[in-house]
C-alpha cells in the first residue's frame, strides 16, 4: 500500500493584501539562502557579510522607490488612494504601515546590478592570474598598456585567412586599437554571470565591449572557417590552459536576436579589473561563465567542427545555454503557528525566458512518491518584482543608471521587456500561517514556453536547475 502523503494547501497572500491589512507580527529569526540547503561546495555566500543585515525602515523605503512601478500597481489594486505622486513623504508613510514581516524580508534584497567588488570569484590557475604582481602582469601583457591579442589559423585544421594578427609580425591587436574600434562598434548589455556547476549566480552587470566578429573580420577569413577557439593567460603552462570555443555562425551573426559575443573591457562603466578578467575578456551573453574566458590573449580560427573546450572534461555539456530557475533568498527559520510567512527569492532568466515563479509548502517528508519534479502538487504563484526606476539600479553604475544605448533598454534606461533574458529578477510572497510542525518550502519557475523547472533540461552538468528545498519550523 503506498504511503499516505500530506500536502499543505497554502494561499499566497498578494502584497496588495498586506497593504490593506497593515498590521502583522514580526518573525524573530530569519535565514538567508543563496543555494539549495543541501549543497556544500565551499562557494556559499552569507548575504549578511555583504552588509545587508539589520536594515531599517529607511531601507525598505529605498526598495519601494527602486520598484516604483510595482508598488504603485499594488497600491492601486488594493484600492488605496492619495498616492499618485509617490513622493518621499508618501512612501515613508506607507512603508511605516506595510506588514513588518514583508518590510524586513524585502529590505534585505540586494540591488539589481552587483557592485564589481561583490562579484563572486571562481577563477582558475596556480597562481590565479589576477593575483600576479603588477610587474609580472606587465611582463605577460595583462595590463591595458601591454595587452596584445593574437588571431591566427589553427595549424592542424586551418581556416584560410589573409591577415593573421601576431606579435611576431607586429600586427597583434593592442588596447588602443581595440578602443579605436570601440568608437564605432562598442555595445553594452546586461548579463548575469553564472558558473555551470554552481547554483548561485556570481553577479549581474552591464558588460561593454567590441563584437568579436569585428576583430575576426580584420584577419580577412576566406574559407574553411567553422569554429573559433580562444584562451587567455594561465602562466603559459599547457596543463593550465583554460580555453573555450564557439561556432563561427554564432560569432559572425547574432542568432535569435541575441546580443553579440564581445571582447569586453568594461563592467558597470569601469575598466575591467584583473579579478573580473581584465584588461580584456570574452563575454557570451547566453552562456555560462566558462564560455566567457578571462585574461584573453589568443583567438584561433579553425575548420574543426567540434568543441575543444577545457570544460568538456568532467562530462560537462559545453553547448548548454543559461537555464531558467528559482531560488529562495529569505524565509523564516522558525515562526509562530498561524503567523503569515514572508519569503523572498530570485529567478535566473535563461534562454527560455520566464513567465512566472511559483511556490509550494508541504510537511517535512510528505512529498508525493514517484514525483521527483513535484508536477502533481498545488503550486501557488509568487509576485515577480518590477525593474528598478532610472537611477536605482545599483552596482556602482554612474548615477546608478543604465548607460545610454545599452541593448534591450529604452532611451529612459528602462527594459524593453520584463523579465529580461540572461538576467536575474526578484520575487516575493506572503504565505498564510500554518499549524505547528516541520515544513519544506520550494520555489520553481515556469518559462515562456510553459515548461516548469527543472524542465526542459533537467540534467546535471548542463547548468543548475534542481528545485531546492528549504526547511523551516512552525512552533
Residues 107 and 124 in one domain: no
Question: In 3D, which of 301, 400, 398 has the Cα closest to residue 66?
Answer: 400
Under 8 Å between Cβ of 310 and 244:
yes
Number of domains in the chain: 2
Question: How far is it, in rounded angstroms, from Cα 9 to Cα 14?
Answer: 16
Residues 363 and 338 in one domain: yes
Residues 56 and 168 in one domain: no
Residue 92 in domain: yes
Write b or e for each residue in 12-46: b if 16 or more Cβ atoms lie within 10 A of its Cβ, otherwise e: bbbbbbbbeeeebeebeebbbbbbbeebeeebeee
Last-in-domain residue among 253, 284, 315: 315
Angle at 204 between CA 281 and CA 30, to 5 degrees: 140
The burial class, CB within 10 Å (0-12 / 13-18 / 19+), for 363 is: middle
Containing structural domain, residue 234: 119-315
Question: In 3D, which of 39, 19, 148, 170 has the Cα closest to residue 91?
Answer: 19
pTM here is: 0.81
Residue 284 in domain: yes
Helices 57-66 and 100-107, interaxial angle, to 10°?
70
Residues 97 and 131 in one domain: no
Residue 78 in domain: yes
Residues 112 and 260 in one domain: no
Residues 138 and 103 in one domain: no
Question: How far is it, in rounded angstroms, from Cα 39 to Cα 327?
Answer: 13
Look at residue 26 in the predicted model and tell me its pLDDT: 32
Look at residue 27 in the predicted model and tell me its pLDDT: 34
Look at residue 405 in the predicted model and tell me its pLDDT: 96
Residues 153 and 215 in one domain: yes
Last-in-domain residue among 278, 297, 315: 315
What secondary structure does DSSP assign to 25-57, as a single string?
A: PPPSEEEE-SS-TT--SS----GGGGT-SS--H
Residues 422 and 280 in one domain: no
Residue 391 in domain: yes
Grid cell 565551499 — which residue?
A: 42
Question: In 3D, which of 337, 331, 245, 334 has the Cα closest to residue 290?
Answer: 245
Question: In 3D, which of 418, 420, 448 has the Cα closest to residue 258?
Answer: 420
Look at residue 103 in the predicted model and tell me its pLDDT: 72
Residues 6+ apart with CB under 8 A from 467: 373, 374, 442, 443, 444, 453, 454
| CATH number reported for the structural domain that contains residue 417 in this entry | 2.60.40.650
Residues 409 and 421 in one domain: yes
Residue 160 in domain: yes
Residues 6+ apart with CB under 8 A from 39: 199
Residue 351 in domain: yes
What secondary structure does DSSP assign to 383-413, as a single string?
A: EEPPPPPTT--BTT-GGGSPPTTBTTB-TTS
Look at residue 301 in the predicted model and tell me its pLDDT: 98
Residues 327 and 400 in one domain: yes
Question: How far is it, in rounded angstroms, from Cα 339 to Cα 342?
Answer: 10
Residues 6+ apart with CB under 8 A from 252: 213, 216
Residues 6+ apart with CB under 8 A from 40: none
Question: How far is it, in rounded angstroms, from Cα 59 to Cα 67?
Answer: 13
Question: How far is it, in rounded angstroms, from Cα 269 to Cα 265?
Answer: 9
Residue 181 in domain: yes
Residues 337 and 468 in one domain: yes
The torsion angle over the Cα atoms of residues 314, 317, 323 and 327, rounded to 10 degrees, is -10
| CATH number reported for the structural domain that contains residue 222 in this entry | 3.90.420.10
Residue 349 in domain: yes
Question: How far is it, in rounded angstroms, from Cα 331 to Cα 473?
Answer: 11
Look at residue 433 in the predicted model and tell me its pLDDT: 94
Per-residue pLDDT of the chain (475 residues; tens, 9 = 90+): 444 444 454 555 444 333 333 223 333 333 333 333 333 333 333 333 333 233 333 444 444 444 444 444 433 333 322 222 222 222 222 233 335 667 777 778 899 999 999 999 988 888 899 999 999 999 999 999 999 999 999 999 999 999 999 999 999 999 999 999 999 999 999 999 999 998 889 999 999 999 999 999 999 999 999 999 999 998 878 888 899 999 999 999 998 999 999 999 999 999 999 999 999 999 999 999 999 999 999 999 999 999 999 999 999 999 999 999 999 999 999 999 999 999 999 999 999 999 999 999 999 999 999 999 999 999 999 999 989 989 999 999 999 999 999 999 999 999 999 999 999 999 999 999 999 999 999 999 999 999 999 999 999 999 999 999 999 999 9
Residues 6+ apart with CB under 8 A from 296: 149, 230, 231, 232, 263, 277, 280, 281, 282
Residues 236 and 332 in one domain: no
Last-in-domain residue among 315, 348, 366: 315
Amino acid at each position: 500500500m503506498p504511503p499516505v502523503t500530506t500536502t499543505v494547501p497554502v494561499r499566497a497572500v498578494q502584497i496588495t493584501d498586506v497593504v490593506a491589512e497593515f498590521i502583522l507580527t514580526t518573525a524573530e529569526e530569519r535565514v538567508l539562502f543563496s543555494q539549495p540547503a543541501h549543497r556544500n561546495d565551499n562557494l556559499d555566500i552569507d548575504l549578511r557579510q555583504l552588509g545587508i543585515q539589520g536594515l531599517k525602515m529607511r531601507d525598505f523605503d529605498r526598495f519601494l522607490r527602486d520598484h516604483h512601478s510595482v508598488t504603485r500597481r499594488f497600491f492601486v489594486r488594493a484600492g488605496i488612494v492619495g498616492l499618485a505622486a509617490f513622493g518621499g513623504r508618501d512612501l515613508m508613510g506607507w512603508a511605516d504601515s506595510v506588514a513588518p514581516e514583508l518590510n524586513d524580508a524585502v529590505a534585505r534584497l540586494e540591488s539589481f546590478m552587483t557592485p564589481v567588488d561583490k562579484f563572486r570569484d571562481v577563477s582558475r590557475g596556480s597562481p590565479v592570474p589576477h593575483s600576479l604582481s603588477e610587474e609580472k602582469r606587465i611582463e605577460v601583457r595583462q595590463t591595458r598598456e601591454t595587452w596584445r591579442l593574437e588571431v591566427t589559423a589553427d595549424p592542424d585544421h586551418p581556416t584560410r585567412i589573409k591577415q593573421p594578427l601576431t606579435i611576431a609580425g607586429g600586427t597583434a591587436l593592442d588596447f588602443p586599437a581595440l578602443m579605436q574600434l570601440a568608437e564605432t562598434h562598442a555595445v553594452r548589455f546586461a548579463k548575469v554571470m553564472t558558473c555551470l556547476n554552481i547554483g548561485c549566480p556570481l553577479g549581474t552587470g552591464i558588460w561593454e565591449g567590441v563584437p568579436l566578429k569585428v576583430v575576426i573580420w580584420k584577419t580577412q577569413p576566406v574559407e574553411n572557417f567553422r569554429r573559433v577557439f580562444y584562451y587567455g593567460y594561465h602562466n603559459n603552462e599547457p596543463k593550465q590552459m583554460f580555453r573555450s570555443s564557439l561556432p563561427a555562425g554564432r560569432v559572425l551573426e547574432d542568432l535569435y536576436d541575441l546580443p553579440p559575443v564581445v571582447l569586453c573591457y568594461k563592467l558597470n562603466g569601469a575598466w575591467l579589473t584583473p579579478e573580473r578578467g581584465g584588461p580584456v575578456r570574452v563575454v557570451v551573453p547566453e552562456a555560462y561563465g566558462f564560455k566567457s574566458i578571462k585574461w584573453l590573449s589568443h583567438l584561433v580560427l579553425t575548420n574543426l567542427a567540434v568543441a575543444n573546450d577545457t570544460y568538456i572534461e568532467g562530462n560537462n555539456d559545453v553547448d548548454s545555454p543559461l537555464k531558467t530557475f528559482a531560488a529562495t533568498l529569505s524565509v523564516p527559520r522558525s515562526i509562530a503557528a498561524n503567523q503569515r510567512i514572508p519569503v523572498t527569492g530570485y529567478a535566473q532568466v535563461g534562454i527560455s525566458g520566464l513567465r512566472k515563479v511559483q511556490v509550494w509548502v508541504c510537511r517535512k517528508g510528505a512529498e508525493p512518491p514517484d514525483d521527483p519534479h513535484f508536477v502533481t502538487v498545488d503550486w501557488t504563484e509568487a509576485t515577480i518584482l518590477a525593474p528598478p526606476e532610472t537611477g536605482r539600479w545599483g552596482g556602482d553604475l554612474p548615477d546608478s543608471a543604465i548607460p545610454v544605448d545599452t541593448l534591450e533598454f529604452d532611451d529612459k534606461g528602462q527594459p524593453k521587456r520584463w523579465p529580461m533574458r540572461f538576467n536575474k529578477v526578484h520575487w516575493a510572497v506572503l504565505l498564510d500561517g500554518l499549524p505547528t510542525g516541520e515544513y519544506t518550502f520550494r520555489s520553481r519557475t515556469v518559462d515562456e514556453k510553459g515548461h516548469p523547472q527543472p524542465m526542459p533540461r533537467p540534467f546535471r552538468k548542463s547548468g543548475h536547475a534542481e528545485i531546492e528545498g528549504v526547511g523551516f519550523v512552525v512552533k
